[in-house]
Amino acid sequence: MADRDPFALTCPVPIGAYPTVLLAHGGGGRLMQQLIAQVFAPAFSNPALDAQHDASLVQAGATRLAFTTDSYVVKPLFFPGGDIGSLAINGTVNDLAMAGARPLALSAGFILEEGLPIDTLTRIVASMREAAAQVGVHVVTGDTKVVDRGKGDGVFINTAGIGIVEHQLTIGPAAVRPGDAVIISGDVGRHGIAIMASREGLQFETTIESDCAPLVAPVLDLISAGIDVHCLRDLTRGGLASALNEIASVRGCSIAIDERAVAVREDVQGACELLGFDPLYVANEGRFVAFVPPDQAARAVAVLRRHAVSSDAVVIGTVSEDPSNLVTVKTRIGASRVVDMLSGEQLPRIC
């Protein structure tokens, strides 16, 4: 996800408490929000940035554009279900999709570490080509830098994307309404666990593959079906829990979800229990939530289920005006617990 401006988020620990950058500052949680709020937002504040979307909206003549960027530093470079190349394309394409935009063009900036095997780079680039072809978008401009051995980590990739916004909806946290149904596009936790298992050499009975995939088709289908989509968000760093917390904080509302409705594959659940992770916070790269009016929820779910990538779409919760701005989960045993925003990611460098 592109960073969002968190003016409205609570920042209990002042950034001054951390005079240097920590790994958690890149984790999509509260520390990253603090870094943005205290360093980036005051410097760069402008209406497009302050709107807090995955992608910013920019008017270009008569055309409404979405514009987004992400750098990818995932470790390892190759993992079950994907690699840094497919991630760099899908991640940015998905940020455009979360604005309801049709991807128009991508850029790719490579920071290579001296000593990287050319074959490795060639494999990554081939994977990028394939991922881009899958959504019918081109990398139209690029850049290559090389840093000295020991000053990088193989390869880092930045992709930026331009999309065309062809609808008249306002999609974003501000458009969320009390009563909105919260729909999730499928099971959670696979990307983060796939990375973790691959990085640490963990063996499970089954190979857990990343869910890394493009989300453009189901989103554009939702919009062309006439669903009044209020908000979309992909569930990357910080997972479902962080995404819902951000939306609740920015919008000023509460969100209640039913844990039983959130699918977690048995092997992912097992790995989470073994590793001490909560699957609600584990990163995904092919999952999103959609906020829609309650009377359109069933139709929206039906539209999403037409697409393989969102064939398990289901309503998981609802929005209320409750001013506590909390995200609560009704657990499997019927109790209710608050899921707060974490300080950082449970797993660093997952994207």
What is the Cα–Cα distance from 341 to 330, expressed in whole angstroms?
Answer: 17
Q: Which two tokens stand for residue 75?
A: 């470790």
Give the phi and the psi of residue 31 in degrees, each rounded to 5: -65, -40
One-letter amino acid identity for 73?
V
Candidates 62-70, 225-233, 301-309, 335-343; binding stretch for its own copies (CB under 8 A): 62-70
* Cβ density class 256-283: b for 16+ within 10 Å, e for less: bbbbeebbbbebbbbbbeebebbbbbbb
Min dist. Cβ of residue 313 to its own copies (A): 27
What is the Cα–Cα distance from 147 to 60, expressed in whole angstroms?
Answer: 36
Q: Mask of contacts with its own copies, 332-351, x by CB under 8 A?
A: ----------------xx-x
What number of other Cβ atoms are within 10 A of residue 43's Cβ?
7
Min dist. Cβ of residue 138 to its own copies (A): 4
Q: Give the number of residues in contact with its own copies, rule: CB under 8 A.
A: 83
What number of other Cβ atoms are within 10 A of residue 209's Cβ?
14
Site residues (CB under 8 A) for its own copies, limited to 192-221:
none
Min dist. Cβ of residue 159 to its own copies (A): 8
- Asked if residue 112 binds its own copies (CB under 8 A), the reply is yes
Q: Which two tokens stand for residue 233?
A: 């968000």
Q: Which two tokens stand for residue 140?
A: 């139209």
What is the Cα–Cα distance from 311 to 302, expressed in whole angstroms?
Answer: 9
- Asked if residue 158 binds its own copies (CB under 8 A), the reply is yes
Q: Mask of contacts with its own copies, 162-191, x by CB under 8 A?
A: x-x---------------------------
Min dist. Cβ of residue 199 to its own copies (A): 12
Q: Which helix (H) or strand (E) holds 18?
A: none
Candidates 142-150, 190-198, 201-209, 260-268; binding stretch for its own copies (CB under 8 A): 142-150
Instruction: Show Cβ contacts of residue 67 under 8 Å, excluding neighbours closer than 6 positions.
Output: 48, 55, 56, 57, 58, 160, 161, 162, 163
- Asked if residue 105 binds its own copies (CB under 8 A), the reply is yes
Min dist. Cβ of residue 270 to its own copies (A): 28
| Interface residue with its own copies, options 119, 200, 205, 266 (CB under 8 A) | 119
Min dist. Cβ of residue 346 to its own copies (A): 14
| Interface residue with its own copies, options 20, 266, 276, 333 (CB under 8 A) | 20
- Asked if residue 43 binds its own copies (CB under 8 A), the reply is yes
